[in-house]
């Protein structure tokens, strides 16, 4: 029988540690509801707030919600406790592409497949106004079928981040993969810099080493600025031509993604004799996604997938009316409550109207998806008013926010706990506050899990 000590928020059974960084750790986990394997990125909320990265976290959530593509790691949901933020993401069983490169260069057919999937993913991001800005093999994962998955949007920018000159100005990225214009600390086009990084990745895949690397950072920057490309003798001529167009130090004349996709090597790939056993046993779709013969032969779907469990954080990304900062402050949670329901909006509204009658509350205001309920008697701080607003995620999945709009907070808490919640029991799927009640226990469970993981690691 599985130990309950490793169940996070009552929903995910924690497994091994996959990696860790400055702000947190990434664990393998399994959904207690669907048995699906996921990766959970856990960040320390205090570190995020103290370093001023709360806006960056909000941006990353928004970007990952926009970027729904078979070759991009999917964000399923975001949860939080008093001290932690949890990103529940798609688990890529194949690990980092970088790990494959530690064994040397890849065969041309494999490199072509990965490059094609990378370009398709980046092109999709750009079409949504998203610029990754840190494309490198360490941020590219592989699933169990060998399909590429772009990850780590922590340095990504949205089109709105452009300044008046229409360019981005924040210098970021990994030195060996960064474009010359970023090094010069001038304004840059996010799409053009991403294309450059994709070119560096392609070179590394085929060569097994970086094109402009130098242990002296200043010397490396000089090489990047000049971009004097020397292709190894085993590179096909068409690859050298493509790389020359991509690794153009002048962003104005650098090739666009549209032109990359029209290039001979991108469209046709290597000759048949160079195909790998992986490709012979699998079909590659027009998008570059593998359809394994061992699967049901269905191509990856580019349409957004509704997460198994949708919470308030998902709605933040879908509705401008929500603000992530609320979830860093406990005072909001005393005046608000949220629940999700699998029933249509009409059923939810009807139920709320019935509750208003049972509690002798006046329906003061009724608009599309909004009910305002008022107590007929004046309380300690005036008339208690409660707003219930319904947000549609799908026609049969809704998030309902119940909040105090006037009156005493304690009176609101009392009527919510004793009357409203019990009366809503038959239409509620899950209350957000129920998840938060588990937070302290989850924090303790995480500490115990970490200790167990450390004890199991061999002594160096």
* Closest listed residue to residue 242, CA positions, set 199, 193, 191: 199
Lookup result for tokens 């004799």: 273
- Are 408 and 319 a contacting pair, CB within 8 Å? no
State how far the Cα of 239 lies from the Cα of 453, in Å rounded to an integer.
45
CB atoms near residue 228 (< 10 Å): 12
Distance CA 381, CA 134 (A): 53
Rg (CA), the chain: 26
Active-site annotation holds for 293:
no
What 3 state SS string does the chain have?
A: CCCHHHEECCCEEEEEEEEECCCEEEEEEEECCCCCEEEEEEEEHHHHHHCCCHHHHHHHHHHHHHCCCCCECCEEEEEECCCEEEEEEECCCCEEHHHHHCCCCCCHHHHHHHHHHHHHHHHHHHHCCEECCCCCHHHEEECCCCCEEECCCCCCEEHHHCCCCCCECCCCCCHHHCCHHHHCCCCECHHHHHHHHHHHHHHHHHHCCCCCCCCCHHHHHHHHHHCCCCCCCCCCHHHHHHHHHHCCCCCCCCCCHHHHHHCHHHHHCCCHHHCCHHHHCEEECCCCCEEECCCCCCCCCCCCCCCCCCCHHHHHHHCCCCCHHHHHCHHHHHHEEEEEECCCHHHHHHHHHHHHHHCCEEEEEEECCEEEEEEEEEEECEEEEEEEEEEEEECCEEEEEEEEEECCHHHHHHHHHHHHHHHHCCCCCEEHHHHHHCHHHHHHHHHHHHHHHHHHCCCC
Residue for token pair 């509705």? 319
- The residues, ordered by sequence, that sit 6+ positions from 225 with a Cβ below 8 Å of its Cβ are 180, 183, 184, 249
- The one catalytic residue among 123, 134, 189, 194: 134
**Dist CA 71 CA 339 (whole Å):** 32
What are the catalytic residues? 134
């Amino acid at each position: 029988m599985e130990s309950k000590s490793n169940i996070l928020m009552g929903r995910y059974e924690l497994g091994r540690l996959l990696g860790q960084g400055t702000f947190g750790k990434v664990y393998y986990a399994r959904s207690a509801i669907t048995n699906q394997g996921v990766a959970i990125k856990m960040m320390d909320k205090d570190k995020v707030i103290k370093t001023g990265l709360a806006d960056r976290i909000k941006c990353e959530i928004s970007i990952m919600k926009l970027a729904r593509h078979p070759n991009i790691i999917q964000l399923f949901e975001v949860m939080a406790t008093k001290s932690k933020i949890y990103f529940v993401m798609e688990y890529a069983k194949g690990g980092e592409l970088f790990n494959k490169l530690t064994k040397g260069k890849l065969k041309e057919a494999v490199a072509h497949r990965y490059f094609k999937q990378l370009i398709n993913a980046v092109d999709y991001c750009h079409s949504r106004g998203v610029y990754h800005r840190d494309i490198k093999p360490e941020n590219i994962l592989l699933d169990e079928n060998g399909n590429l998955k772009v990850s780590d949007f922590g340095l990504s920018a949205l089109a709105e981040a452009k300044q008046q000159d229409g360019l981005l100005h924040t210098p970021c990225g990994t030195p060996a993969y960064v474009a010359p214009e970023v090094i010069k600390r001038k304004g840059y086009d996010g799409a053009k810099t991403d294309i450059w990084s994709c070119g560096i990745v392609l070179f590394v895949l085929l060569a097994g080493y970086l094109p402009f690397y130098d242990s002296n950072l200043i010397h490396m920057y000089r090489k990047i600025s000049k971009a004097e490309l020397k292709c190894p003798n085993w590179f096909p001529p068409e690859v050298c031509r493509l790389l020359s167009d991509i690794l153009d130090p002048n962003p104005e004349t650098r090739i666009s993604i549209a032109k990359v996709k029209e290039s001979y090597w991108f469209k046709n790939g290597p000759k048949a004799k160079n195909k790998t056993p992986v490709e012979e046993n699998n079909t590659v779709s027009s998008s570059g996604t593998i359809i394994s013969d061992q699967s049901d032969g269905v191509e990856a779907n580019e349409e957004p997938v509704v997460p198994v469990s949708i919470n308030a954080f998902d709605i933040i990304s879908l509705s401008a009316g929500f603000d992530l900062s609320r979830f860093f402050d406990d005072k909001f949670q005393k005046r608000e409550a949220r629940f999700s329901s699998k029933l249509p909006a009409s059923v939810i509204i009807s139920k709320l109207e019935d509750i208003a009658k049972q509690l002798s509350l006046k329906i003061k205001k009724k608009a599309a998806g909004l009910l305002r309920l008022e107590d007929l008697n004046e309380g300690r701080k005036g008339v208690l008013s409660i707003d219930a607003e319904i947000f549609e995620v799908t026609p049969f999945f809704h998030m309902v926010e119940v909040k105090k709009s006037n009156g005493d907070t304690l009176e609101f808490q009392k009527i919510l706990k004793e009357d409203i919640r019990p009366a809503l029991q038959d239409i509620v799927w899950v209350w957000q506050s129920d998840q938060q009640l588990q937070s302290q226990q989850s924090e303790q469970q995480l500490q115990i899990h970490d200790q167990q993981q450390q004890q199991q690691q061999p002594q160096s």
